[in-house]
C-alpha cells in the first residue's frame, strides 16, 4: 500500500432525509489517516446511510464529504478510489480467486501486464499466496472474506469501507477474523471505516468507535474510554452488559443507592436525574481481599447461571433492586459464589463507578 491509502476523511454536517424521515441528522466526523473507525449502533441508527454517503451510493441532502484534500460529496462511486468489502463478499463464483482480485484492475483499465504482481501482492497481504487458481467454491468462509479484502485493496485505494464483513461467519471464525483484520490493518496502515452492530467486534478491531442513535452521532472515542466513560445512558446500556440504576447526588463525587453511598472517581454529570451504570464484570464478590477503598453493596443471590467461560449471578439489593455480575467460570471462582437465597457483599471500585445523566 502506498501513501495514498493513508488519507484522512472529513464528514461535515452530513444529513439525509427521505421525505419526512431523517435517516442521518447533522453528523460531523473527522477520521485520521490510517485510522480504523467502526460505526456502531442498532438498526435504524444511520450507520449504513453514513457508509453509503462515504461510498457515493447515497447522496446527502446536505453536508459534505472530503477524502484527503478532495471534496467527493457528489463524485460517483467508481471515481472515488475507495475499496469496499460487502456483507456477503459479492465475489464472482464463476471466476477464480485471481480473477476476482484482478476485477477492479480490469474495471479501471490498468495495464494487463501489471495485474499478476498486484494480485499476488494483495493475496500475500491476506496470507493467501498461491490461491490465484482456486475456485471460490473451494474456499472457506474466512478465506472468502480475505479474498474480498484483497480485492478491495488491490488497486491501492485511498479508503477502505467495510459493511458488516464478518456477520455471515460463525461465532468462533468471526472472533478469529476480528483479530486477523486488526493485525492486517496494523500491517497496512490503511484508513478503514467499518459498519457493525456487534459491540465486541467494534471494540476489538477499532482505534475509535462512533456510536450512532436515531441518525445522530452520540459519542466517538477509543474502545477503552467508550466502555469506561460512556457519555449518556444510551451508550452505557448499548456497550457491554450494564444495569442502569436510579441514584441521587450525595456530594461532589458520590451518589446514593438505597441506603448505600457510593464514591466515584469521575466528575458527576449535570442534571437532577442520575443513573449508575453497573457493568456486570466490574462488580466483584467481596471475600475480604478487595481493595479497602472500594464501594460495597449487600445483596441476596437470586439465581446463578452457568454460561461456559463465565457465570452470571443475579442478586437483589435490600430495597428489591435487581443487579447482576459476571464471574469467571473457573472452579475457584465458582467456590466464591453463594447459593441462591444466601447473602453476599459485592464491591465496586470508584474508578468503575460510572454515573451518567438520564
Report DSSP letters for 107-133, one per residue: HTT--GGGHHHHHHHHHHHTT-TT-TT
Single pTM value for the model: 0.86
Do residue 168 and residue 306 come from a single domain? no
Residue 260 near residue 318, CB atoms below 8 Å:
no
Burial (CB count within 10 angstroms: exposed 0-12, middle 13-18, buried 19+), residue 195: buried
Do residue 21 and residue 74 come from a single domain? yes
Taking only the tens place, the pLDDT of each residue in 6-57 is: 689 999 999 999 999 999 999 999 999 999 999 999 999 999 999 999 999 9
**Number of domains observed in the structure of the chain:** 2
Q: Domain of 169: which CATH number?
A: 3.40.50.300
Do residue 159 and residue 247 come from a single domain? no
- With a pLDDT cut of 70, the percent of the chain lying above it is 98
Do residue 135 and residue 53 come from a single domain? yes
Do residue 216 and residue 295 come from a single domain? no
Domain membership of residue 172 (yes or no) is yes
Q: Domain of 301: which CATH number?
A: 2.40.50.140
Do residue 276 and residue 344 come from a single domain? yes
Model pLDDT, residue 259: 86
Do residue 109 and residue 254 come from a single domain? no
Do residue 282 and residue 215 come from a single domain? no
For residues 307-311, give the mean pLDDT.
Answer: 87
For residues 127-150, give the mean pLDDT.
Answer: 90
Model pLDDT, residue 5: 41
69/288: higher pLDDT: 69
Domain membership of residue 234 (yes or no) is no
Domain membership of residue 235 (yes or no) is no
For residues 240-267, give the mean pLDDT.
Answer: 92
Q: How far apart are CA 79 and CA 100, in angstroms?
A: 20
CB atoms within 10 A of CB 176: 14
Residue 202: give the domain boundaries.
Answer: 3-227
Residue 73 near residue 19, CB atoms below 8 Å:
no
CA–chain centroid gap for 289, Å, is 34
> Please, which pLDDT band fits residue 120 given cuts at 50, 70 and 90?
very high
What's the mean per-residue pLDDT of the chain?
90
For residues 107-132, give the mean pLDDT.
Answer: 91
Do residue 207 and residue 119 come from a single domain? yes
Amino acid at each position: 500500500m502506498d501513501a495514498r491509502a493513508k488519507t484522512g476523511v472529513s464528514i461535515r454536517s452530513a444529513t439525509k432525509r427521505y421525505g419526512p424521515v431523517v435517516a442521518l441528522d447533522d453528523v460531523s466526523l473527522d477520521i485520521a489517516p490510517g485510522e480504523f473507525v467502526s460505526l456502531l449502533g442498532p438498526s435504524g441508527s444511520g450507520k449504513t446511510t453514513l457508509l453509503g454517503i462515504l461510498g457515493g451510493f447515497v447522496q446527502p441532502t446536505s453536508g459534505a464529504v472530503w477524502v484527503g484534500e478532495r471534496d467527493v460529496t457528489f463524485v460517483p462511486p467508481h471515481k472515488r478510489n475507495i475499496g469496499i468489502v460487502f456483507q456477503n463478499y459479492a465475489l464472482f463464483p464463476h471466476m477464480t480467486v485471481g480473477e476476482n482480485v484482478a476485477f477492479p484492475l480490469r474495471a479501471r483499465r490498468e495495464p494487463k501486464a501489471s495485474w499478476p504482481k498486484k494480485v499476488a501482492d494483495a493475496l500475500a497481504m491476506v496470507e493467501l499466496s498461491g490461491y490465484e487458481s482456486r475456485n471460490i467454491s473451494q474456499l472457506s468462509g474466512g478465506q472468502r472474506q480475505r479474498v474480498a479484502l484483497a480485492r478491495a485493496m488491490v488497486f491501492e485505494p485511498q479508503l477502505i469501507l467495510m459493511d458488516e464483513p464478518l456477520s455471515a461467519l460463525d461465532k468462533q471464525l468471526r472472533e478469529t477474523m476480528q483479530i486477523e483484520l486488526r493485525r492486517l490493518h496494523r500491517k497496512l496502515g490503511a484508513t478503514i471505516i467499518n459498519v457493525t452492530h456487534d459491540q465486541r467486534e467494534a471494540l476489538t478491531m477499532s482505534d475509535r468507535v462512533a456510536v450512532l442513535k436515531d441518525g445522530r452521532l452520540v459519542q466517538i472515542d477509543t474502545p477503552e474510554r467508550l466502555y469506561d466513560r460512556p457519555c449518556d445512558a444510551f451508550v452505557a446500556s448499548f456497550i457491554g452488559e450494564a444495569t442502569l440504576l436510579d441514584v441521587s447526588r450525595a456530594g461532589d463525587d458520590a451518589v446514593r443507592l438505597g441506603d448505600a453511598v457510593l464514591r466515584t472517581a469521575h466528575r458527576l454529570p449535570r442534571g437532577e436525574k442520575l443513573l449508575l451504570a453497573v457493568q456486570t464484570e466490574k462488580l466483584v464478590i467481596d471475600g475480604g481481599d478487595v481493595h479497602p477503598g472500594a464501594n460495597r453493596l449487600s445483596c441476596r443471590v437470586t439465581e446463578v447461571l452457568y454460561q461456559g467461560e463465565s457465570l452470571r449471578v443475579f442478586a437483589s439489593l435490600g430495597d428489591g433492586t435487581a443487579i447482576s455480575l459476571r464471574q469467571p467460570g473457573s472452579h475457584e471462582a465458582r467456590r466464591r459464589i453463594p447459593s441462591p437465597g444466601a447473602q453476599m457483599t459485592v464491591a465496586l471500585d470508584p474508578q468503575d463507578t460510572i454515573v451518567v445523566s438520564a
